[in-house]
Structure 1
Amino acid sequence: MAARIDLTLDCTDAQLLAAFWKEALGYIDEPPPAPFRTRAEWFAQFDLPEGDSVDDAAWLCDPDGAGPRLSILKVPEPKTTKNRLHIDVRVPGQGNPDERWARITAEAERLVQAGGTIREVFDGHHVVMTDPEGNEFCVAAATARRATETDS
């Protein structure tokens, strides 16, 4: 069985990025681990430095359980270079090339309205964007799954 992954985004404003990525991906706030009723209750169990807050982090998940979990964590240092790993936001890939491109550009515009920025457009293929803190991601069409892939 393949390993499952989580993705972690470093940031300066965890709540801002959480709101953007919830809108971008349709994710929800991940419930706290049992037996905790709230993230604040869970957070209180750790011996953290004074001034750290539960608002300095966010945990998001795919409500259908298909996508990776996102951890969004406040860090003191600013982003300085291009991401070495980035997220691809995939729109349905069916249809002719013009229909796929229309879905890609519509999704890119929706994400601009949510706080993203278009950085570069590769006509007919994909759009390079950044989230509100400058993390790069792409909007592209979904590709067909290989016959050997299965849902887990």
Structure 2
Amino acid sequence: MSEHPQLGITVDCADAQVVARFWCRALGYVEAPPPQGWDDWPSFLTDHGVPEDEWGDGATIRPATGEGPSISFLKVPEPKTVKNRVHLDVKVSGGRHVDQALRETRIRATEADLVAHGARSLREDVGDDGRLDHVVMADPEGNEFCVV
């Protein structure tokens, strides 16, 4: 293998557009541009024979800087039925070395914003000292993630 593989994350979902918009908000990501050589997604999809009624079945987002992993969302027919074995962490607190009150303020503000945009809070995880460590949440389709 001459090149190192790149990391891409794919999330199965029922509505790729809704879930992609949510994760853009949660992570500060943007819609990924079409592949090089195409001016827009409709041109790319048309050139690859994707029927127009399937154009909303997928979406890809990436960091605004272009650096870091992309996340793709793919419409699948089956609903989510069990807990995720892999999940994303939305890291906003600054880490455990940051003052606990500031960490908690950052976590709570992000939690409130994401709830306002379709997420649900599932539970809080606190350390042995009773301090908030992170909040476990679910995106609009029930995929678990943590705000840390």
TM score, norm. by length of structure 2: 0.86
For residues 114 and 23 of structure 2, the distance between their equivalents in structure 1, rounded to whole angstroms, comes to: 9
Partner of 1:148: none
- Deviates most, 3-12 or 53-62: 3-12
2:29 to 20, 27, 30: 27
Partner of 1:118: 121
Q: How many residues align?
A: 139
Call closer, same or farther: CA 1:45–1:2 in 2, change over 3 Å.
closer
**Mapped contact 2:31–2:60 kept (Cα < 8 A):** yes
Partner of 1:41: 43
Cα displacement string for residues 56-91 of structure 1 (whole angstroms, at most 9, x for unaligned residues): 111101011333101111111111111111000000
Call closer, same or farther: CA 1:77–1:52 in 2, change over 3 Å.
farther
Identity, in percent, stands at 42
For residues 67 and 105 of structure 2, the distance between their equivalents in structure 1, rounded to whole angstroms, comes to: 25
Structure 2, unaligned stretches of length 5 or more?
A: 127-131
Give the alignment's Cα RMSD to 1 decimal: 1.8
Runs of 4+, deviation exceeding 4 Å: none
For residues 135 and 100 of structure 1, the distance between their equivalents in structure 2, rounded to whole angstroms, comes to: 24
Partner of 1:107: 110
TM score, norm. by length of structure 1: 0.84
Structure 1, unaligned stretches of length 5 or more?
A: 141-152
